[in-house]
Amino acid sequence: MDKETLFEMSADGLEDVEPISDSFDLSGKVAVVAGSVGLSLYVINRLLECGASVVFGSRTQEWGDMAVEAFKDLGRDKLAFRQTDVRKVEDCRALVAFAEETFGPVDICVPVAATWQARAFLDMDEELYDDIIDTDMKGQYFLVQAAARSMVKAGNGGKIVTIASVAYRGDDMYKLAMMTPYNAAKAGVIGMTRGIAKELKQYGINVNCVAPGGMVTPGAMVNCVKTVELYGQEWQEAQMAGGSETPVAASPDEMARMILTMCTDVADFMYGRVVEVDGGANLSFQEKPWSYTMDGGIPGTA
């Protein structure tokens, strides 16, 4: 076969390619998000921006009310809040039922809500362990289950984006560990994502995962208050020193944009994948342009 024929076979398909803007048009879609501050707030914002109706839930009614008002001030009012404790299965199911009653069957689910506290493995108690595991893994599992049931009943497929963390691979605080329940929960999220993805593909549902790295959020600022009380100022100084070695996103929107993409048709051919958005945290970046052919490289060689 000659080159012209081969090229024409490929180029003919260009006429059928939909505009990429269509993929990001979520008009008519109903999304359920867990969480009301930090990353979840930015995920909600992007979903609303693309035309989705959003129902979100978190433990704190005050934050939920404040989020609704903030979005209304931006002219985005296709959203509703329901106080939800994702550690409770009945609350996860009630949030999805509320979404169905308010806007219709669920098309998108992003269980962002999470918690963590740094604590030495030898000091970890059952209550804190249960809180972290139940929020970060169990909560995602059963919110996704409730949303998937809605999707399957409606028969329109859907997008589910679970939220892990680079902590799943043991990358948390530089030269400080002390995050074992969080490590376990986020690793569990990846395992369950892959398992769920294999079951739900038959219904036209894409299940994938985004693993964020460090970012500036209210949780990141307050979650270690108790840790400092327990371990003292020396621990805080070690944390701050280590933090300077870790890439930290100035805004959770760095992660929210990728999460949004995984909620669109862009992810139609992705199943059970983990996308890490961490600023290259596990890479050692070159800091000097060692070039002998370009200006600004090795002095006197260009």
**Averaged pLDDT, groups of 10, the chain, 302 residues long:** 89 91 97 96 98 97 97 96 98 98 98 94 97 98 98 98 93 80 97 98 98 82 80 83 74 96 98 95 84 79 55
Which two three-digit tokens encode residue 284? 């050692």
Q: What pLDDT was estimated at residue 248?
A: 82
Q: What pLDDT was estimated at residue 242?
A: 66
Is residue 9 a part of any domain in this protein?
A: no
Is residue 11 a part of any domain in this protein?
A: no
Q: How many structural domains is the chain composed of?
A: 1
Q: What is the pTM of this model?
A: 0.93
Q: What pLDDT was estimated at residue 245?
A: 67
Q: Among residues 42, 141, 168, 182, which one is catalytic? A: 182
Is residue 214 a part of any domain in this protein?
A: yes
Is residue 146 a part of any domain in this protein?
A: yes
Is residue 18 a part of any domain in this protein?
A: no
Q: What is the pLDDT of residues 106-127, one digit of tens each?
A: 999 999 999 999 999 999 999 9
Residue 271 known to be catalytic: no
Q: What pLDDT was estimated at residue 99?
A: 98
Nearest alpha-carbon partner for 29 in 106, 144, 143, 102: 106
Is residue 159 a part of any domain in this protein?
A: yes
The CATH number for 252's domain is 3.40.50.720
162 lies in which domain range? Answer: 27-276
Is residue 236 a part of any domain in this protein?
A: yes
Q: What pLDDT was estimated at residue 209?
A: 98
Cβ atoms of residues 242 and 173 within 8 Å: yes
Is residue 20 a part of any domain in this protein?
A: no
Q: What pLDDT was estimated at residue 243?
A: 64
Burial class of 283 by CB neighbour count within 10 A (0 to 12, 13 to 18, 19+): exposed
